[in-house]
Structure 1
Amino acid sequence: MKTQTLLIEIGTEELPARLLNNISLNFYKNFITELNILNIKYKKISYFSTPRRLALKIQDINMQEQYIEIQKRGPSIIKSYDKNGYLTESAISWLKHYKINIKDTIRLKNKKGEWLLYKTKKKQDKIESLIPKITELALKKISSMIPMRWEVDHIKFFRPIRNIVMLLDDQIVSGKIFNINSNRILHNHIAYKEQKIIINHAKEYPNILFDKQNILANYIIRKEVIIKEIKETIKKIHGYIEKNHILIDEITSLVESPIVLLANFKKKFLKIPRKILKYVIEKQQKCLPIYNDKNDILPYFIFVSNINSNKSKIIISDTEKVMHARLSDIEFFLKNDRKTKLENHLISLKNVLFQNNIGSMYEKTLRLQHLIRWITQYYPNNLEDATRAAMLSKCDLITNVVCEFPELQGTIGMYYALENQEKKTVALAIEEQYLPAFSGDILPKTYIGSILSISDKIDTLSGMFYIGNIPSSNKDPFALRRLALGILRIIIKQNISLDLKELINNSLSLYNKKYIDDSKLSDQIIKFFISRLFYWYQEIGYSKNIIQSVLSYKLTQPIDINKRIKAVSIFQKSTNSESIMLCIKRIINILEKEKQTLSTKINTQLMEKKEEIILFNQINNLYIATKQLFLKQKYEDIFLKIKDLEKPIYHFFDNVKIYHSNPKICLNRLILLNSFKKIIFKIADFSYLY
């Protein structure tokens, strides 16, 4: 078997750092899929990524000629031959279309029937000619973000592609990818892009990049090197860094020749509030703050340079100047902002647009106060603080800090509120109103922060639906899906007794000045919420059937929905649930066949067998025992009691003939079974569960 090493390197302009690893992994998986489709064998595939390259190295790829099997299925045998055994027009037409002789066909048989079938083998194109096609397909199928267009022919990829290397051992694979010819010149470091790195053999990759320009093409190795050097560097000042996998991943994606360096800033900047200081160092400058053993930030920071230079002192000095400028700006903005109390910015919110056609941030603040008062009607002790938090919630949008650094909205509001002697619960709520900010983000911890977050999100969501900014299947520019899921997660996690329908109606009423019937819009928003719930429960591991069994009831209380789904899931997973589920299934199957009304009362005088009397008493006891449990939504306890009916139901089926010759007795027994079904179907629709 003839095998070779295949190298593919796609040289690009700077790829988006946060998506680099995902783009690279997608390229790798797509390429494997394409190879499998064409039945091309190989030993191992390694993938590489830096800010300016995506690469694959395929070891021992089988270069021998391959044959692919072609199958053409024709009409069914019934339609292929007439009653005299002659070919029909349908069969003749199929044979002519594919230039097939009837003698070369066979018959395909399966459970569904029998058809004419033609099978042949065709020599596949040479693998050398397939490689460019496979590569381009694998790149085009990457689905991490919307691609950009460049050049006159409007080619689309995440960033412009500038260079293509395709080598089979030491030979260039001729061909084009995105109209760029393959060569053997590797994409160099951005600082040395004029210098050529010529690769003679595919096996030299990726070592040749490191030998020539200290480029670590392997993402995982690059990350390990960065972490190791960070640990060694911070030992010098006896500090430590917090675990921040997201930032480390982003830094790894920003560099390809990493050099870890230690820098410092002036101690006076330590007076900047901790979260803001941390934000500037991490988010703005992509550096790592250093802490002492008391968890205080030290006047040092770690940064990773992308240039392996002998002039590291100059790089450190330049980086320190940039950091100093950033921190000086924050210091200046904080000083100016503190001249005005937070609440004094409220009137200025009239000049800040929330959204076209739905008013200003001042109007939004008034709506938040109304919603907060409505939500806290059952918790009057929190009303004053909650209303205060709602009033101050958007005031920091006017501040200099937020105008310069919008991501600090909420956080800066919290600090200013504390400085203005506001209650801690009020200040924390101002920050927590924006949580969760992204998928999987933490939730608000305080009650007031939770209800302020719910109010803020439902106000935005209702307003957008009200003016017609509704998400489509592939577009959600205002992140309304995230807002809806955030509301649901908070309600469930914080166990807040809210009904979605009431919440939505209250929110919509604040937009509807003419008091037009909002019922259709309300129903539309509820469906939107329920669809989010469905996908969320699937994501966290619940069975699709279990979710449908509960959501099919069109309930609108998230807490109630959550309790039911959890209870049904626990019950179904329990070791002894199978037998009672078989009983339930049998009952449902019997009742589904019946067209007569089963709503009348059970007549005990028509009971002939002791088994039906026992079952009747047990069902009656179950009804009484679960009445309060249903009111308290204790569904897990209800399932425990349902389990007690397993034996009486089995004895009933073993000894009682349901379809009695006397229609009244038959109907009575069906009503008895239906009375049990009514109780268990109060929890979920069990017909989805088998």
Structure 2
Amino acid sequence: MRTENCLVELGTEELPPKALKTLGEAFAQQFELALTTANLPFGSVSWFAAPRRLAVYVSDLAEGQEDKVVEKRGPAVSAAFDADGNPTKAAQGWARGNGIDVADAERLVTDKGEWLLYKAHVPGQGVSTLLEGLVNQAISKLPIPKPMRWGSHSTQFIRPVHTLCVLYGSEVINISTLGLASSRTVQGHRFHGEARFELDHADNYATALESQYVIADFEARKAKTRQQLEDAAAALSLKPDYDEALLEEIASLVEWPVVMQAGFDEGFLAVPKEALIYTMKDDQKYVPLLDANGDLVNTFLFVSNIESSDPIQVISGNEKVIRPRLADAEFFYNSDRKVSLESRLNSLGTVLFQKQLGTLKEKSERISVLSGFIAAQINADEAHATRAGLLAKADLMSNMVMEFPDVQGVMGKYYALNDNEHSDVAQALYEQYMPRFAGDTLPSNGVSASVALADKLDTLVGIFGIGQLPKGDKDPFALRRAAIGVLRIITELSLPLDLTTLVTKSIEVYGEKLSNDKAHSQVVDFVLGRFTALLQDKQIAIDVIQSVAARRPTKPADYLARINAVALFKSLDESEALAAANKRVANILAKQHVDIDATVHINDALLSETSEKALFEALTESEEKVSDALGSQDYTAILTTLATLRVAIDDFFDNVMVMAEDDAVKKNRLALLTLLRQLFLTTADISILAKS
């Protein structure tokens, strides 16, 4: 069957830059799904996306579906003919529906009976017939939250669509979508290219557009933008300050990237660099430049969509645009410094944190108390933590943060230093939101960690305390992120903190505001539940995680120490046999309703078998070593010690009958197994490692 490469392009007005890549990927995914569902053979599907176009390119698309044979089973033979062998009405109706006579039907014979059968030959439909439905199906499933209408059209799309190019090789496939009939017309660059031109072949799409000053391939355009930024910065011996999100947004704004250099008055550098960088990146999509020390310089890069014959005018225009934004930041900074952070506390009382939980002023007071409490437990400066907690949200009432919300915390640090607050207090205001995202840095000292933990715990306990638990993908207070932040801070900074104690204190600080009496256990379980995802990201086996989770340790650093110990234990040769033995012991004790947490009394006078005496001696020796290691939470030492019990345990089960006829002997042997089980449970439930 003939195949050709196929192109479908929507020529639009400027598409939303933050949605462009998602739209391009979704168009390809949905079109591929439509092709697959329609059983239309193809090679691969790729996508193009630029500010004024979305396109999919399908390689080796078959000219039609394969013909197929569809078996249509009719009534059973016993019901298809009467006693005289004449077709019944059921058989005649079935045959008529298939366009045949009953006599033309074949027979389907199975071990369950015999039926009439018609094998219908269904010819495949051609690509010219199918393509309109496939394109419309793919477009209808694009992630467009707010579609719009334009002109007199009743159709809707994310932006007005002006051209529809559909080529199968060099042939135009006649379809209609979004109020347009297909053609070979494509839009060139808005300024450098032809307004519209004719595309001769699907394979020439990218090269034809490039001759029209359009790089249609999103990733290629992004790579070119990156390279130009890096080259321009390197020529100045500076470093461009951008992330992938900014680079993708810039690449979504231009069809033909041209990086240019501009500058601003050096006097603006007296303003904290974070505020200047924020307005350059967020408002203007400019790329700031940093020196070798990470300090901002008064030169920046921007990406133009044209190759100007008079670049000085373009540069001057961008410098004029940025100046008032920087002037605003300078004004806000200078005016904010005239008022201390402490004097802003009362104004926090006018802003609600949450209706049932009170204002930001009340939240600040709670954070202050909880910060001091945490600092005392980790040997950080309690007074500094208490002070930092109180001032944590004060910068939210500053002009700078109201104008540039992303610099909250950052400006708190600068304003605290301006107020002659202790450097630890200022640093804590800056680091209170850490970690903000996966992989983000953590607070740098105990005071900052105390405030960061207090802030997150106050939110967790408060929202759970009024019964507003996150459901599905709805998590308006970012409780999952807060929980992961709590775990990362405690584990990665090795802080000796217990979630139970922290949540208890937070509930106490809230007083009578909370209404959910299950909040304590729910918060602790919720935070511990985040540990599973966090550990799986570190390639920890799920059975290792489950074995520790079964013991519900509530100190995250202790939890992680157990995880590491069990992971190491699992790699030992003895682990499989010991896990199986633990599972066997657990089953025996459960059937006998033995209280695993009860104090164990073993009467050595009742030990008669050599193997049970040997196990008792080995357990007694191990118990002392486990006790010593438990004091320092050296779980690796505990499990390494217990791994030496393998031979004694195997011999015991090979040679000793636990369920002895003598009740005293039976209970003594059960006590022996209880001690064995207790020693392993000091670290984790090793039985979970046993293979089913």
Instruction: Specify the TM-score bucket, using the shorter chain as the normaliser.
Output: 0.7 to 0.9
Q: Paired residue for 2:248? A: 249
Query: Whole-Å Cα distance in 2 between the matches of residues 481 and 142 of structure 1?
Result: 28
1:9 match: secondary structure: strand
| Per-residue deviation, 1:326 | 1.0
- In the alignment, the residues of structure 2 paired with residue 321 and residue 414 of structure 1 have an alpha-carbon distance, to the nearest angstrom, of 30
Cα separation, partners in 2 of 1:51 and 1:568, compared to 1, 3 Å: farther
The correspondence of residues 286-685 of structure 1 with structure 2, limited to 5 A, is: 286-293=285-292, 295-379=294-378, 382-513=381-512, 518-574=516-572, 577-588=575-586, 594-595=591-592, 597=594, 601-656=601-656, 668-685=668-685
Q: CA deviation at 1:31?
A: 4.3
Which moves more between the two structures, 362-371 or 577-586?
577-586
SS at 1:642 equivalent? helix
The 8 Å contact of residues 598 and 670 in structure 1, kept in 2 or not, is answered as no
* CA 155–634 in structure 1, closer or farther in 2 if over 3 Å, else same: farther
The CA deviation at 1:49 is 2.2
| TM-superposed deviation, 1:33 | 5.0
Which residue identity lines up with residue 565 of structure 2 in the other structure?
A: A
Once the 2 structures are TM-superposed, how far is the Cα of residue 204 of structure 1 from its aligned partner? 1.4
Secondary structure class of the residue paired with 1:42? coil
Q: Deviations over 1:348-405 (max 9, x none)?
A: 2222332323322221111111111222232465011111111221221222111211
Residue identity opposite 1:219 in structure 2: F
| C-alpha displacement of 1:7 | 1.3
Corresponding position of 1:61? 61
More deviation, 571-580/626-635: 571-580
1:51 aligns with 2:55: no
Query: Which shows bigger deviation, 571-580 or 152-161?
Result: 152-161
Structure 1 counterpart of 2:557, one-letter code:
I
- The answer as to whether partners of 1:104 and 1:118 remain within 8 angstroms in 2 is no
For residues 474 and 128 of structure 1, do their structure 2 counterparts lie closer, same or farther at Cα, with a shift above 3 Å needed? farther
Separation in 2 of the partners of 1:284 and 1:278?
Answer: 10
Cα pair 2:278 2:404 within 8 Å, conserved = no
The residue type paired with residue 104 of structure 1 is: L
Structure 2 CA distance for partners of 1:222 and 1:604, relative to 1, 3 Å? same
Alpha carbons of 1:486 and 1:236: their partners in 2 closer, same or farther (altered >3 Å)?
closer
Q: CA deviation at 1:259?
A: 0.9
Equivalents in 2 of 1:107, 1:630: separation in Å? 68
* Alignment partner, residue 108 of structure 2: 104
| Cα offset, 1:426, TM superposition | 0.8
Output the amino acid matched with 1:409.
Q
Match of 1:283 in 2: 282
Contact kept, 8 Å, 1:11 with 1:161, in 2: the verdict is yes
Q: 1:229 deviation in Å?
A: 2.1
**3-state SS, counterpart of residue 391 of structure 1:** helix
Judging changes above 3 Å, is the alpha-carbon distance between structure 1 residues 53 and 392 closer, same or farther for their aligned structure 2 residues?
same
Cα–Cα, structure 1 residues 649 and 121, in superposed 2: closer, same or farther, change >3 Å? Answer: farther
Counterpart position of 2:186: 186
1:293 deviates by 4.5
Shift of 1:139: 5.6
Q: What code does the residue aligned with 2:549 have?
A: L
Q: Deviations over 1:408-432 (max 9, x none)?
A: 1111110111122222111110011
Distance 1:651 1:259, change over 3 A: same
In the alignment, is the contact (CA less than 8 A) between 1:106 and 1:118 conserved in 2? no
Q: Deviations over 1:52-107 (max 9, x none)?
A: 43322122223353256879999xxxxxxxxxxxxxxxxx9xx99x9999952657
State which drifts further: 398-407 or 243-252.
Answer: 243-252
Q: Which amino acid aligns with 2:556?
A: P
Which segment is superposed worse, 119-128 or 548-557? 119-128
Pairs within 5 Å for 1:13-24? 14-18=14-18, 20-24=20-24
For 1:545, the aligned partner's letter is D
Secondary structure of 1:683's aligned partner: coil
In structure 1, stretches of 5+ residues that fail to align are 75-91, 109-116
- Once the two structures are superposed, residues 276-295 of structure 1 have per-residue CA deviations (whole angstroms, 9 ceiling, x without a partner) of 33323233322222234454
**How far, CA to CA, are the matches of 1:196 and 1:362 in structure 2?**
60
Cα distance, 1:655–1:528 mapped onto 2, change above 3 Å: closer
Please report how far the alpha carbon of residue 346 of structure 1 lies from its aligned counterpart in structure 2 after TM superposition: 2.0
Partners of 1:586 and 1:118 lie apart in 2 by 60
Q: Note the C-alpha offset of 1:597.
A: 4.1
Deviations 1:571-624 (A, max 9, x none): 2245663444444455456656x4464867444444443233222221222222
Structure 2 letter corresponding to 1:203 = D
Residue identity over aligned pairs, in percent, reads: 33
Change in CA separation of 1:309 and 1:106 when aligned onto 2, cut-off 3 Å: farther
Q: In 1, are the aligned partners of 2:574 and 2:646 still within 8 Å (CA)?
A: no
TM-score of the pair, normalised by structure 2: 0.83
Question: Could you tell me how far apart the structure 1 residues matched to 2:443 and 2:520 are?
Answer: 26
Matched, 1:172 2:172: yes
What does 1:33-44 correspond to in 2, within 5 Å? 33=33, 35-36=35-36, 40-44=40-44
Q: TM-score normalized by structure 1?
A: 0.84
Aligned-residue Cα RMSD (Å) equals 3.8
CA separation of 1:185/1:672 partners in 2, compared to 1, >3 Å: closer, same or farther? farther
Aligned positions of 1:216-255 closer than 5 A: 216-242=215-241, 244-255=243-254
Distance 1:307 1:575, change over 3 A: farther
State how far apart, in whole Å, the 1-side matches of 2:160 and 2:652 are: 73
With 275-284 and 188-197 compared, the bigger mean Cα shift is at 188-197
Q: 1:512 to 1:295 in 2, by over 3 A?
A: closer
Question: For the Cα contact (< 8 Å) 1:415–1:427, is it kept in 2?
Answer: yes
CA contact (8 A) 2:4 2:63 kept: yes
Q: Out of 308-317 and 649-658, give the one that drifted further.
A: 649-658
Larger radius of gyration: 2
Q: How many residues end up aligned between the 2 structures?
A: 657
Structure 2 stretches lacking a partner, 5+ long: 75-90
> Which residue identity lines up with residue 413 of structure 2 in the other structure?
M
